[in-house]
Structure 1
C-alpha cells in the first residue's frame, strides 16, 4: 500500500465554480502527512456521473486508498455513493439498521424525514458504514477491488472531521501502510516578506529531513517544518535544531506557532503582564477589534474600542483637537497619536492602538495617496506613531487587513522591547 499511496477526490460543482474554498482537501492532506501516509494526487470534479466515474476508476489504477468528500446526502446532486457503486459494478443495498438510525437523527433534530433520505441508507454490498456523529449522511469504507479501498465523507467540514477522528483515522493507522511518523510544525512571521525570509534561511530550505517550506499570505509568512521518524519522539528531535536555528536568525519576526494568531499572542502577552488594551479605528472600521474578539477569553484583557470614522466623532469620542485635524489632516501621525491617547484615557486601558488611513479606491491625493495608513501604539511609556504605504493596487479590503496586521505587530514588538 505504501507504494501506491493515498488520493483525494473532492466532489462538488460549487468547488469548481469557486463558490466554496476547498478547505477539506487541505485539512485531509495535513492529516495524511501526520499519519505518515504517502499522498500524491488531489482531484476535484463537479456533480457529474461520467466525470466522477472516470476519476474513481483512474484512482483505482494508481492508488491504494481513495478519500472522497462531498456528494453524500438526499438531494439529486448527491451522487457519490451510487456513482462509485456503478463505477465498479456493484449493486446498492439498503441497510435497514442504517435507515432507522437516519430516521432517528432527523426526527430528533426536528427535521422532516423525506423519502429521498432513504437513499442515504443504501451502500454497495460489502461496504462498511463510516458513521456520521454530527449529521444524517453516513460515509463508507469499501474495497471494490483487491488492494484498493474507498473512504467517503460528506462535504460539511465539521461532519467530515468528526468522522475522520472517530473512524477513518483509526482505520488508516491499521491499514494505511504508513512510511513512518511525520511531525509538522508551522512558524508564523510578520513584518518580513517571503523573499527576504527565504533569503535569510536559504540553506535550510534544501534539507530533505526535516524539510522547510515557506508559504505566504497577505501580511503573513509561514515556514512549515516537517520531519519523518520511526516514532513521534524521533521526528520531534529532528525538528528541534532546525527550529532553533530559524529562530536564531529571524526570531524577532516570528510571532507564533501553528494556529496562533497575532491577536492571540498579544492577548497572552498582555495577560501575563496584567495589562489591558483598547482600540480606536477609522479606516479599518472595527477590524482590529474583530481580530481581537475572535480569540476566546479576550474579555479579561480587551476593554473595548471606538470606531471614529468621521472627524466629528474623532473629536467628540476621542478628544482629538480640531486644530490637529485642520493642521495635519485626519490621516497623520499627530491625529492618530491623539486617537490612541484618547482611547487609552477614556477607556482606562494600559495600552491603546489607533489607525487612520485612506483605504480607497477614492479619497487619495498627491500628498496622501490611496493606501497611506497611519498607526499608533500608546502605552505607559508614551505613544509611537508611524506611516505605512500599502499602495493603490491591493484594493480596499487588503489595505484594511494589512493595517490590522501592522498595528497588532507594532504592539507585539513594543512589548518585546520592554521585556
Structure 2
C-alpha cells in the first residue's frame, strides 16, 4: 500500500455519460506533481450501499482516498453519510462549517434553508476542508490508522480552490511523496501521432525521464516526466530531453504546457507589433473565438467577419460577383479575396480567411465535404491553399481542424518573416 492514493468520483451522471469526468484527470495530474503514487480510479453512482462498499475496499488498499461529488444539500448527496457509516462514526454539526455556509449564502443573497444545513455535518474528529468559493465544505479524516479520506464537491472550480488552499499543503506535509515529479507537455501540429512516435521512438524507451505520446483534438503531444529528490533536480533531467525533441521536430512543436496555437500566434504578433483580422465562412467564428480566448488578445486581434452567405462576402469583404461565379465560394480565389478584404477593412497587418464545405451535405465529386481553402494576406503578399480533411468525423471536427490549421499557417509565416 505504501503512500499510494486512489480517486473515487461519485455521481450517477458520470456513469450515464451526462458529464465528462474532468475531475479525475485533474486530480491525477496534481498527485503526479506532488510525487504521490496513484494506482486506481473508480466511479460510483449515487447509491449508498455501493458507495459504502467502495469506501471500505479502498481503505484496505491505499493510504489516501480522494473523493469528489455528493457533498451538496440534496437527498442524493450521500458521500459524508456513507463515509460515516462505512467506518462506524457519527455525524455532528460543526459550528464553524455552518457559519461559513451562512456567510456564503448571505454574500450571494440566497435564503438559508434546512437542506443546506446538512452540509455542516461531519465526523467529530474530522478536519474541516474549507470551501472558499462554494457552500459545501469537505473534510480530511483518518478513520483508521494509515488511511485518510479527503472529500471534495464535484464542482470543478470549488474542488480546485479547496485543493490548492488546503489539501495540497496537507499532502505535502504528510510525507506521502516518493520523490518529486516534474512534467512537461510538448504540443505539435502538422503530423500524425504515428509519425511523431517514429521520430522519437528511441526516447520512448527511457525510464527516468520518460516520454509518452498522446493524441489530442487535431494536435499531438508528448508528456515528459522525471522523478528526483528535489524539484530542481527533476526539472534539470527534463531540460536536455526537451532540447533533443525540439531539435528533431523543429517548428512542428508549437508550444508547451498551457500554450495553444492561438496563444502562440498572439504572442508572435505582439512581439512583432503586428495585428490580425479574420474572415470566416465554414468555421462560423471559430478562429475569432480561439483568438479571443487568449487573455490580452486585444493587443493583436482586431476583429473579424463571419461571411457565410455570398452576399456578405461581396458586400462586406469586396469579393467580386465574377470571382464567385467563375470559381465558386469554395476556392482559392475567393479565400484570397476574403483575406485581402478583411485586411483592408480592418487595417490589420494580416488577414486570415477560410471557406469550405463542413458537411454533412453540400459536397460534390470535385469539391467534397472536408475541402477547405485557407488564405493568408500579409505585408509581403497573399497565398491560399486547399486542404482536405476527413469527412468521417463530422462537421465539428472539420471546423476544429480548419481553425487550428489556419492559425498554424499564420504561426509558420510569422516564424520565417
- In 2: Cα distance, 1:371 partner to 1:111 partner: 50
Comparing 273-282 with 382-391, greater Cα deviation is found at 382-391
Counterpart of 1:87 in structure 2 is 86
- In 2: Cα distance, 1:347 partner to 1:265 partner: 22
- State the shift of 1:83 in Å: 0.5
- In 2: Cα distance, 1:248 partner to 1:345 partner: 38
Comparing 101-110 with 261-270, greater Cα deviation is found at 101-110
- In 1: Cα distance, 2:102 partner to 2:303 partner: 47
Alignment of 1:20-419 (within 5 A): 20-418=19-417
Deviations 1:179-219 (A, max 9, x none): 01100011110011111001100111111111111111121
Is the Cα–Cα contact under 8 Å of residues 47 and 71 in structure 1 kept in the other structure? Answer: yes
Deviations 1:262-315 (A, max 9, x none): 001000000100001000000111110000011111112111101111111111
Is the Cα–Cα contact under 8 Å of residues 3 and 177 in structure 2 kept in the other structure? Answer: no
Structure 1 stretches of at least 4 aligned residues deviating more than 3 Å after TM superposition: none
RMSD: 1.0
Q: If the length of structure 1 is used for normalisation, what is the TM-score?
A: 0.98
- In 1: Cα distance, 2:248 partner to 2:78 partner: 52
SS in 2 for 1:177: coil
In structure 2, relative to structure 1, the CA distance for the partners of 1:56 and 1:176 (3 Å cut) is: farther
Deviations 1:57-106 (A, max 9, x none): 11101100000000001111110000110011111112123222222221
Counterpart of 1:6 in structure 2 is 5
Deviations 1:145-188 (A, max 9, x none): 11000000011111111111111011100114210110001111
- In 1: Cα distance, 2:326 partner to 2:204 partner: 50
Is the Cα–Cα contact under 8 Å of residues 4 and 62 in structure 1 kept in the other structure? Answer: no
- State the shift of 1:4 in Å: 4.8
- In 1: Cα distance, 2:227 partner to 2:100 partner: 41
Is the Cα–Cα contact under 8 Å of residues 3 and 176 in structure 2 kept in the other structure? Answer: no
Is the Cα–Cα contact under 8 Å of residues 37 and 176 in structure 1 kept in the other structure? Answer: no
SS in 2 for 1:141: strand
Deviations 1:201-253 (A, max 9, x none): 01111111111111111211111101011101100110011101100100210
> Gaps (5+ residues) in structure 1?
none
Is the Cα–Cα contact under 8 Å of residues 92 and 122 in structure 2 kept in the other structure? Answer: yes
- State the shift of 1:125 in Å: 2.5
- In 1: Cα distance, 2:374 partner to 2:65 partner: 50
- In 1: Cα distance, 2:246 partner to 2:167 partner: 36
Is the Cα–Cα contact under 8 Å of residues 282 and 309 in structure 1 kept in the other structure? Answer: yes
Q: If the length of structure 2 is used for normalisation, what is the TM-score?
A: 0.98
- In 2: Cα distance, 1:80 partner to 1:72 partner: 6
- State the shift of 1:51 in Å: 1.3
> Gaps (5+ residues) in structure 2?
none
- In 1: Cα distance, 2:30 partner to 2:366 partner: 50
Comparing 307-316 with 351-360, greater Cα deviation is found at 307-316
SS in 2 for 1:62: coil
